[in-house]
Amino acid sequence: MRERFRLLFTTFEREAWVRFFLALFGLALAFASALLSTAARESGNLLATAVLASSALLLAAFVGLVTVPYLARRVAFRRVRDVLDYDVTKEGLVYLALTFVISIAALNTGNNLLFIVVSAMLAAILVSGISSALVLRGLELEVSLPNQIFAGRLVSTRLSVRNARKFLPSFSVSVVPPKVVSKKKWQFRRTEFVYPSRRSGKKPIVRWPDLSMQRQAPEDTPPGIYREKVYFPYIAAGDTGHADVDLHFEKRGRYAQDHFGLATRFPFSFLTKTRRVPMEREVIVFPSVEPTDELFEILPLITGEFESYLRGRGYDLYRIREYQPEDSARHVDWKSTAKSGSLKLREFTREDERRLRIVFDNPAPAIVGEATYEDAVALAASLAWHFADENAELSFAAAGFNGAGDLFQFLEYLALVQPSTGKSVLDTLEVREDYNLVFTARPRGSIPTALWQSSYFLFIEDK
């Protein structure tokens, strides 16, 4: 019993019931106004009759326009109605206009031949509707997307439409993206009636809870994956049609699509009939890792600093070179010194060679411009991709990132990251034996001194 009550309250639509009772209240007022207008008419009061009758009509019209469409969308036939969408084509409009003109002529002249022509034209509309519905029925859609998608690169995907029927083929079918609905919706908002108004500057005397209808803008949704239709001229019964589609994503980020559409104009192009196919698909587009001029300019500097940091850290001999004043005397090779007559020094490679940590210190909003920020994200992704190809032992650090050394998790983080006001990752960064490649927008004087010796800094600054 408790579970039933819990299920009842979870499925309870408060706004729908509020509108329902408001509709009852409005209709009751309209009925009362209509009765009072009748009484006023019988008493001979024309002004009261006109006011009360007009009030009854206005209340009934208001309830009909505001409440009935909203409640109608929640009844059982909603699913049946939303199965197919209809869009009248230009050809269909011309055909309907021609049918209307011939119908008027048939009514005016009483010519039986014109009535037969009108009947045939209306029958063609009926046949078109039934045929297009049969074409779309029994079709199944499958969408194949790759796991790794990079901004700026063409991605090959495959759409497959299967005709599950055994006898009837399908003609002229298109896979179309969903319609973008950007209209604002009317919604009730809780407000407060205040008298006198706050604008008057006087202390309010009356405060009543109130409801107001406001237009609410739709929530931000990620952009769609497919933007153009894919056409299949013929799909035999029991067969599957395939189409390879190249997608191009200019920007990093999340792209999602909750449904697709199967559309047809078969057979006469009077209507474009679309059947919605619920199918949720989401892709994460990684930042571009294509080599840029900035990458070619910075990479030699980073590589040089990285290799310099690696020397003298292990036990395998790297090379023997001339002794420099800043070198430690404990690595002097005395045998080579005795043979050559000048001080020689041994350099060793480190055992955990090529350990690199890429640190992305996410700046706060409005610190740098959008273009500068996007360039920094793309550069971080390109360097991570480059050193992964060089077989370097990579790890990553960023605020809110827990992927440690997983390259694709770091690329996903960079794909979705936005400027944030959180705490800087440099304040809690653990100093290790890794060489750090740091992206930051912090001033140079605020960077911890322990990082300067083992890090290469790429400052995110507007040019």
| Phi, psi at 83, each rounded to 5° | -65, -40
Nearest-CA neighbor of 263 among 182, 181, 179? 179
- How many domains, in total, are found in the chain? 5
Q: Is the pLDDT of residue 80 over 50?
A: no
Q: Is the pLDDT of residue 235 over 50?
A: yes
* Structure tokens that stand for 113 in this block: 């031949």
**Contact at 8 Å (CB) between 361 and 438?**
yes
End position of a domain, from candidates 216, 237, 264: 216
Domain residues for 245? 84-182+218-286
* Structure tokens that stand for 445 in this block: 């004087």
Higher pLDDT, 231 or 350: 231
Total count of residues recorded for the chain: 463
* Structure tokens that stand for 296 in this block: 């070619």
Residue 171 and residue 202 in one domain? no
Residue 113 and residue 258 in one domain? yes
Distance CA 440, CA 376 (A): 9
Residue 41 and residue 91 in one domain? no
Q: Where are the beta strands (DSSP E) in 265-343?
A: 271-286, 316-322
Q: At which residue do the structure tokens 């971080």 appear?
A: 380
Mean pLDDT of the chain: 79
Q: Is the pLDDT of residue 395 over 60?
A: yes
CA–centroid distance for 353 within its chain = 42
Residue 274 and residue 133 in one domain? yes
Q: Is the pLDDT of residue 294 over 50?
A: yes
How confident is the model at residue 5, as a pLDDT?
46
Q: Where are the beta strands (DSSP E) in 56-198?
A: 84-88, 139-144, 149-150, 154-163, 170-176, 185-195
* Structure tokens that stand for 72 in this block: 């109608």
Q: Is the pLDDT of residue 286 over 90?
A: yes
End position of a domain, from candidates 80, 106, 123: 80
Residue 34 and residue 124 in one domain? no
| Eight-class DSSP state of 34 | H
Residue 152 and residue 244 in one domain? yes
How confident is the model at residue 311, as a pLDDT?
52
How confident is the model at residue 178, as a pLDDT?
78
End position of a domain, from candidates 167, 201, 216: 216
Query: CATH code at 280?
Result: 2.60.40.3880
Higher pLDDT, 256 or 462: 256
* Structure tokens that stand for 431 in this block: 């100093």
Distance CA 452, CA 432 (A): 13
How confident is the model at residue 72, as a pLDDT?
61
Residue 369 and residue 441 in one domain? yes
**Contact at 8 Å (CB) between 203 and 189?**
no
**Contact at 8 Å (CB) between 218 and 179?**
no
Identify the band that residue 313 occupies on the pLDDT scale cut at 50, 70 and 90: very low
Higher pLDDT, 197 or 126: 126
**Contact at 8 Å (CB) between 379 and 294?**
yes
Residue 211 and residue 222 in one domain? no
**C-alpha to C-alpha distances, 46 to 29, 53, 55, 220, nearest whole angstrom:** 20, 10, 14, 54
Residue 372 and residue 409 in one domain? yes
How confident is the model at residue 403, as a pLDDT?
67
* Percentage of the residues of the chain whose pLDDT score is greater than 90: 12
Residue 206 and residue 240 in one domain? no
Distance CA 437, CA 439 (A): 7
How confident is the model at residue 79, as a pLDDT?
47
How confident is the model at residue 392, as a pLDDT?
76
Q: Is the pLDDT of residue 318 over 80?
A: no
Residue 253 and residue 381 in one domain? no
**Contact at 8 Å (CB) between 155 and 175?**
no
Distance CA 252, CA 79 (A): 36
Identify the band that residue 43 occupies on the pLDDT scale cut at 50, 70 and 90: confident
Handedness of CA 128, 129, 134, 138 (dihedral sign): positive
Does residue 196 have a cis peptide bond before it, meaning omega lies within 30 degrees of 0?
yes
Residue 320 and residue 426 in one domain? no
Model pTM score: 0.64
Identify the band that residue 354 occupies on the pLDDT scale cut at 50, 70 and 90: low
